[in-house]
Amino acid sequence: MKVLKKIKSLIMRYGPMMTTCEKAHAFIDDYLAGELPAKSRRVFELHIRLCGECHAYLDHYREAIQMGQSYFHDQPDEACELLPDELSRAILSTNIDSHP
């Protein structure tokens, strides 16, 4: 297993068409919206397959979106207006990257 981890690490670091975790996180919204160009989508998907941390991050991101959508789907339109602007801006500006 240690050999496989070492190979995976080398591929992640030096492999062609690889991206950093930070760049992968920047692609998430466009990826989920189906708006990434084909080459960028392939790079993103390869990174997600090889990086367990980013794979988990993407899963949690999807879950958060689904929870938010289900909450607001069940609420009247006025519920969206109840979220203070300051809180909205703080949420949108948060950088959740927790690893390199």
Give residue-wise pLDDT tens across range 15-37.
Answer: 666 778 888 888 899 999 999 99
- Structure-block tokens of residue 40: 């960028």
Alpha-carbon span 96 to 42, nearest angstrom: 23
Query: Please, are residues 61 and 55 in contact by the beta-carbon 8 Å criterion?
Result: no
The whole-number pLDDT of residue 16 equals: 61
Query: Please, are residues 30 and 36 in contact by the beta-carbon 8 Å criterion?
Result: yes
Q: How many CA atoms lie within 13 A of 44 on its CB side?
A: 21
Residue 52 covered by a domain: yes
In the chain, the number of structural domains is 1
Domain span including residue 19 = 2-93
Residue 100 covered by a domain: no
Query: If pLDDT is split at 50, 70 and 90, which confidence band does 56 have?
Result: very high
Q: Answer yes or no: is pLDDT of 96 > 60.
A: no
DSSP state of 17: T
Residue 98 covered by a domain: no
What is the identity of the amino acid at 14? Y
